[in-house]
Amino acid sequence: MANEGRDVVPNENGGWDVRKPGASRSSAHEDTQRQAIDRAREIARNAGGGEVRIHGRNGQIRDSDTIPPGNDPNPPRDRK
């Protein structure tokens, strides 16, 4: 199913959680935000694409990434 977005959010007990919006449980838990972002991208890719929203420690969204085949109106430039 496309548009299976995920949020990367801080866990109150440490580390970072990957959550589907509206879900009561996490899809994954990682020690670092970088690991959680990578896992969220993998989950979204396996689900057919979607938006990965990255939250800071304060809970505010600080970045987002559209995983294909999602429709990103402002795709990032090639980072090579």
Residue 13's domain spans which residues? Answer: 6-67
Residue 16 counted as domain residue = yes
- pLDDT tens, residue by residue, 8-38: 999 999 999 999 998 989 999 999 999 999 9
- pLDDT tens, residue by residue, 24-74: 899 999 999 999 999 999 999 998 899 999 999 999 999 999 998 755 556
Q: Which residues pair with 17 in a beta bridge?
A: 9, 29
Residue 40 counted as domain residue = yes
Residue 1 counted as domain residue = no
What's the rounded Cα separation, in Å, for the pair 51 and 48?
Answer: 11
Query: What is the number of domains present in the chain?
Result: 1
Query: Which SS3 state, helix, strand or coil, does residue 48 take?
Result: coil
What's the rounded Cα separation, in Å, for the pair 48 and 32?
Answer: 25
What's the rounded Cα separation, in Å, for the pair 53 and 59?
Answer: 11
Residue 79 counted as domain residue = no
